[in-house]
Amino acid sequence: MRTTASRTALLLTALALLTAGCGTVTAGSDDADPAPETKDRAHEVAEAWDGSPAADAWRKGYYPMADAVQPPEDAFHNEDDKEAYGRQNFELRGDLPDSKQREGKVTWRNGGSLTLPLMGAQEAYKTVDRTDAPAPRLVVTGAKLGETTLVTSRGPATVPAWLFTVEGYDTPLKRVAVKPSKLPEPPIGPARDTPSEGLWELNRLVETAADGRSVTVLAHHGSCDDGPAVDVLETDGSVVLSGHVVGMKDGPCTSDLRAKKVIVELDRPLADRLLLDAFTGRPVPQGNPDGPSGSWS
């Protein structure tokens, strides 16, 4: 049996494995029928969210579906710089501005806007520079307030961002300067303990395709299986993803939790439909919670 708590406790192991590269598999609605143990739960989650007050609140909020930190356009010049960025190892050689602006506006391309508290330059920098380690490091020499574009749950948006000048690069590193809205109270709780060959919690959303016709997620699996699979249930209001493993094997197994990228093909664009995790009953989180742009969940 695996519980949400035990999965969370093993998350750091999974993240360490991810940095070494873990391959990608593709799943979609034209694959084989969903595993029987995931099908009923997916319908329960969809029915709970579709048309709910929580879904309405979600569609009025700001929930990024892409990384809040964007490297310079010409990154990276060498492997040392790439390593420094991946390890979040920076060095500040200059002053950061103390902006008197306390609010920033998110403006959606398809209409609508939302005013949110603005993150200061110092706070934003601390979310980027999270490691105090020897070289290699990326050197930041200053910053100014600007904006960037970002994919969100309501489509592309223009958002305030701190533009950090990085030594040796012609374009800035951008860090979104507003925090996501608070997640509404989910209308359904997490699944109870399930066998490891049944429903598994997803790790996070990695990417949404530009046309919205596919999403890439990190899905968990163990050491004695052939890897993860992700079933998909699409409704008018949501897309429910059910992670599970395939090819369970007998024999001695290690207890480490692993993760692999899975591309999930959709019948139609995701648009403003909620992307939900069948196990947790919550929207699939975006971003590494311990990384430069932690998830809103």
| Residues 154, 93 share a domain | yes
* Residue at 48 is within a domain: yes
Q: Are the C-beta atoms of residues 153 and 218 closer than 8 Å to each other?
A: no
* Residue at 292 is within a domain: no
Q: Chunk the chain into consecutive blocks of 10 residues (it has 297) and report each block's average pLDDT, rounded to whole numbers.
A: 32 34 53 67 96 95 91 96 95 93 94 95 95 93 96 92 98 96 93 66 89 91 76 96 80 73 94 93 76 47
| Residues 51, 86 share a domain | no
- Domain range spanning residue 157? 69-176
| Residues 206, 190 share a domain | yes
| Residues 211, 147 share a domain | no
pLDDT given at position 291: 44
| Residues 110, 136 share a domain | yes
Give the chain's domain count. 2
| Residues 277, 227 share a domain | yes
| Residues 258, 207 share a domain | yes
* Residue at 208 is within a domain: yes
| Residues 265, 193 share a domain | yes
The two tokens of residue 131 are 């490691």
* Residue at 160 is within a domain: yes
* Residue at 23 is within a domain: yes
pLDDT given at position 290: 45
Buried b / exposed e over 44-58, threshold 16 CB at 10 Å, is ebbbbbbebebbeeb
pLDDT given at position 26: 63
Element (H, E) at 203: strand 202-208
- For the full predicted model, state whether its pTM sits above 0.95: no
Which of 149, 176, 203 marks a domain boundary?
176
Which of 109, 141, 176 marks a domain boundary?
176
| Residues 199, 158 share a domain | no
Backbone angles phi, psi at 130, to 5 degrees: -120, 5
pLDDT given at position 297: 47
Which of 113, 142, 176 marks a domain boundary?
176
